[in-house]
Amino acid sequence: MSHHGFGPDLAEVFGPSQQDGGPELVQLLTPEGERVHHPEFDRDFSAEELRGFYRDMVLTRRIDTEATALQRHGELGIWAQLLGQEAAQIGAGRALRPQDYVFPTYREHGVAYCRGVDPLNLLGLFRGVDHGAWNPNDNNFGLYTIVIGAQALHATGYAMGIQRDGDVGTGDPDRDAAVIAHFGDGASSQGDVNEAFIFAASYNAPVVFFCQNNQWAISEPIERQSRIPLYQRALGFGFPGVRVDGNDVLATYAVTQAALQRARDGQGPTFVEAYTYRMGAHTTTDDPTRYRLSDDVENWKLKDPIARLAAYLRRNGLAEDAFIDALKVEADELGHYLREGCKALKDPEALSMFDHVYAEETDEIAAQREGYAKYLASFEGSHA
């Protein structure tokens, strides 16, 4: 049944809609919090690692809910929520090494957090005080990219640079590097993304294409972008594709880690499809009730990435009260930091808009800055 109501009946082509991601889905932790094993991607996790994932997801969700609230209070113009995608982002983010490089889209708040980007810095773009406050080279975390899919090519080119520097396949874990490109299911339709696949395959570039298939591109369902499971596309471009449960932080970590290692070892690109769901709206300006069924949302709530790890931790006695309490305090502190910090973000000086248009400023820009400064000065006194 094509519940989105267009096109031929998808069920006839692929069988019943697979909200569970299908048999190919790599999973290490079920929605009920049961640990399951996988022949290829399984690995052991220490108690500390597991608690670390949990903490990361809780804090990431706090960043998101806090920013959403700040938008509602008029402190941010807009916010792109990640509710439900915490596991996909933490799994991918924690699989990175310092020398790896991230090319994010505009929703990678969890990955940014893993890279050590001050979460306050994420707010500037959405508040309208800058186009991105962090230095991409401080944490090897690029600026957010709003034009859908553009960064897939940048990631590939950067990976080709790593190759030329000889920083792949040396066997030195501190040297070999990989690149990860984040994008959504909608982005998979862009020419840029498909061209990135071709370059990456053709040059065997050390890049991982990490797609969070959250089922929706604003109002367009995944069926509008692809008639086959997305991960299967990779094969057509000549590199492996894996579909992982994006609500399972352990599986996402294991799969991404393996893909990054392939890249660092010089074995070329991998496509990772993190199968997940956008629990909230596309952004704070979107109204999903116009196009999607609340049944689906309810269904996906049962797969919440944080609840499932919590269940596992509790069942195995890994989350004592002290840990939970300390985390709660930490999350509240983070919330407070973001609230106060956001309100304190200053509007830029008007004349700063002329800065950095070029690395080598032109006389024309200098003259325009000067002219505008004089113009502003002409109001002083008169309007005050």
Ligand X SMILES: Cc1ncc(C[n+]2csc(CCOP(=O)(O)OP(=O)(O)O)c2C)c(N)n1
Give the residue numbers marked as catalytic. 278, 282, 291
Shortest Å, Cβ 220 to ligand X: 8
Shortest Å, Cβ 371 to other proteins: 9
Which part of the chain contacts other proteins (CB under 8 A), choosing from 113-121, 216-224, 263-271, 310-318? Answer: 216-224
Contact 10, 2 (CB under 8 A): yes
Binding mask 109-128 for other proteins (x = CB under 8 A): ---------------xxxxx
SS3 string, the chain, reads CCCCCCCCCHHHHHCCCCCCCCCCCECCECCCCCECCCCCCCCCCCHHHHHHHHHHHHHHHHHHHHHHHHHHCCCCCCCCCCCCCHHHHHHHHHCCCCCCEEECCCCCHHHHHHCCCCHHHHHHHHHCCCCCCCCHHHHCECCCCCCCCHHHHHHHHHHHHHHHCCCCCCCCCCCCCCEEEEEECHHHHCHHHHHHHHHHHHHCCCEEEEEEECCEECCEEHHHCCCCCHHHHHHHHCCCEEEEECCCHHHHHHHHHHHHHHHHCCCCCEEEEEECCCCCCCCCCCCHHHCCCHHHHHHHHCCCHHHHHHHHHHHCCCCCHHHHHHHHHHHHHHHHHHHHHHHHCCCCCHHHHHCCCCCCCCHHHHHHHHHHHHHHHCCCCCCC
Q: Is 224 in the site for other proteins (CB under 8 A)?
A: yes
Partner in contact with 107, chosen from ligand X, other proteins, none, beta carbon below 5 to 8 Å by kind: ligand X
Q: Is 107 in the site for ligand X (CB under 6 A)?
A: yes
CB of 75 or CB of 286, closer to ligand X: 286
Q: Is 290 in the site for other proteins (CB under 8 A)?
A: yes
Pick from 186, 241, 268, 280 the residue near other proteins by CB under 8 A. 186
Pick from 89, 204, 225, 256 the residue near other proteins by CB under 8 A. 225
Which part of the chain contacts other proteins (CB under 8 A), choosing from 203-211, 251-259, 282-290, 319-327? Answer: 282-290
Q: Is 82 in the site for other proteins (CB under 8 A)?
A: no
Q: Is the dihedral of CA 96, 100, 103, 106 positive or negative?
A: positive
Q: Is 325 in the site for other proteins (CB under 8 A)?
A: no
Which part of the chain contacts other proteins (CB under 8 A), choosing from 62-70, 94-102, 204-212, 350-358? Answer: 350-358
Pick from 58, 162, 187, 207 the residue near other proteins by CB under 8 A. 187
Binding mask 202-221 for ligand X (x = CB under 6 A): ----------x-x-xxx---
- For 243, other C-beta atoms within 10 Å of its C-beta total 23
Q: Is 363 in the site for other proteins (CB under 8 A)?
A: no
Q: Is 99 in the site for other proteins (CB under 8 A)?
A: no
Q: Is 148 in the site for ligand X (CB under 6 A)?
A: yes
**Amino acid identity at 175:** R
In the numeric block, the tokens 């498909």 are attached to 194
Spatial separation of the C-alpha atoms in residues 349 and 71, rounded to whole Å: 23
Q: Is 109 in the site for ligand X (CB under 6 A)?
A: no
Pick from 236, 291, 316, 336 the residue near other proteins by CB under 8 A. 291
Query: Which residues make up the interface to ligand X (CB under 6 A)?
Result: 107, 146-148, 183-187, 212, 214, 216-218, 278, 282
Which residues here bind other proteins, judged by CB under 8 A? 5-6, 77-78, 106, 124-131, 146-148, 186-187, 189-192, 217-220, 224-225, 285-287, 290-291, 347-350, 352-354, 357, 364-365, 368, 372, 375, 379
